Amino acid sequence: MNNLKYSNTVLVNLIISSIVPFLIWGPFFPDLIVSISALFFLYYVFKNKHFFYFNNKLLIIFFIFCCYCIFVSIFFAEDTFFSLGSSLFYFRIGVFSCFIWYLIDRDKSILIYFYYALFLSFLALVFDGYFQYFTGKNIFGLKLIGVRISSFFGDELIMGSYLSRLFPLLFALFIIKKKHKYEIYFISILFILVDALIYISGERTAFFYLNLSTVFIIILIKEYQKVRLLTFIISIALIFVLSAYSDKLLNRMFKMPAEGMGLINNSEINEKEIYIFSEIHDGYIKTALKMFNDRPIFGHGPKMFRLKCSNPNYSTGKYSCDTHPHNFYVQLLAETGVIGFLFLISAFFYVLYASMKQLKSIIFRKSRYLTDYQVCLLASMLITLWPISPNGNFFNNWLIIVYSMSIGFYLQSHNKKKQ
């Protein structure tokens, strides 16, 4: 009986942690695992009456937000069924975070499974990414797209996003793992290679997220502060070397964004104008703000930007339409109004509040408010919630699965500390 129970635990841990490599191939299998896990966990909670997993302020607020999105889809969206496609089952992400919390409570070995899933996925991308950078093709023959490295992601240019968003979770799990000294040297080399790979991927937002989370972690952690600082400094030096041999990369990462925002002159543009992120992003954001001004309280409904952006009442020119306005906060203003926006900004303020308490405890030399493990998890949440940057669709399955994982680990740790 014990052997059967152990086998079941191993199987569940393998399936759940397999989300990490599956995310490289797309959202289908990760979303399938999340959905089945959510259904299983709901059955478990109601059968055993373990409702305490949902008795958490952060989760309660999230579930209220999900109900609100469904309400807006039904009563305010122009195409109710299309809008419900994004909002109706959004709650499964919160349930999946609780499921990770439950798995850690049941068996701490899930932490090791996730660590090695992340470690091996990062190692594979580092090997294949540099192989593609230096040869022009990855091991499967996928070519570089301009100066952009995509590795196993192919036409989806999100390798840097994957690495930068999951890097804090990898660091968090490394911190709490029992390890030999040689593992510290090995992971340090991996950190350096990952830092530089995110840069040469050509994903500017991903590189910004990497720097933001790294500075945040270095300031607020204790035990591995010097390790991360040293690896980051070496990474910056390596980036300078790589940039010296690639004018195209240097142009994409620094000159193009500066020109796009109108901060420096572009020889092809006579008139100088300041844009939000770029001329294209500026058009999307202004269109979304026009939609918000039309319905400031409840918005137009989740997923409605793509249907309403071509409307002459909202369109701002040739750069008005896309599937989303490329900023979470602006998207929620347009699609869920100021009420939906308040849920997201409240989550961001929570991260700032916890960070300030940690900083205060460091300055006044009291016991730390957060462990180093929690700081790294909070860094993952910070880059997801950061308001001043272009990003993806708030209701995108791939993205929400990525950021739901760190939340699950944080909820378990936070609840354990309260107990």
Domain positions in the chain: 2-260+322-418
Confidence (pLDDT) at 244: 83
Confidence (pLDDT) at 144: 87
DSSP 73: H
Euclidean distance between the first and the last CA atom of the chain, given in angstroms as a whole number: 31
Between 222 and 271, the higher pLDDT residue: 222
Band of pLDDT at residue 32, cut at 50, 70 and 90: very high
pLDDT (mean) for 368-393? 93
Confidence (pLDDT) at 5: 55
Residues 149, 209, 163, 384: is their CA dihedral positive or negative?
negative
Between 245 and 129, the higher pLDDT residue: 129
Band of pLDDT at residue 319, cut at 50, 70 and 90: confident
pLDDT (mean) for 267-279? 67
pLDDT, averaged across the chain: 90
Confidence (pLDDT) at 1: 46
Q: Which residues contact 58 (CB under 8 A, 6 or more apart)?
A: 347, 350, 411
368 touches 361 (CB < 8 A): yes
Q: What is the pLDDT of residues 274-283, one digit of tens each?
A: 788 888 888 9
**In sequence order, what DSSP letters do the residues of 310-353 get, joined into one string?**
TSTTT--SSS--SSS-S-HHHHHHHHHHHHHHHHHHHHHHHHHH
Confidence (pLDDT) at 84: 95
Lowest-pLDDT range of 1-15, 109-123, 300-314: 1-15
**In sequence order, what DSSP letters do the residues of 386-397 get, joined into one string?**
-SSS----TT-H
410 touches 173 (CB < 8 A): no
Q: How large is the angle between the packed helices 372-385 and 328-363, nearest 10 degrees?
A: 150
Band of pLDDT at residue 364, cut at 50, 70 and 90: confident
| Residue 2 pLDDT > 70 | no
Between 67 and 319, the higher pLDDT residue: 67
| Residue 269 pLDDT > 60 | no
| Residue 19 pLDDT > 50 | yes
CA distance 352 to 357: 9
203 touches 163 (CB < 8 A): no
Confidence (pLDDT) at 278: 82
Q: What is the pLDDT of residues 138-187, one digit of tens each?
A: 999 998 887 789 999 988 889 999 999 999 999 999 999 988 888 999 99
Band of pLDDT at residue 270, cut at 50, 70 and 90: very low
Confidence (pLDDT) at 318: 82
Q: Which residues contact 66 (CB under 8 A, 6 or more apart)?
A: 87, 90, 91, 94
Band of pLDDT at residue 7, cut at 50, 70 and 90: low
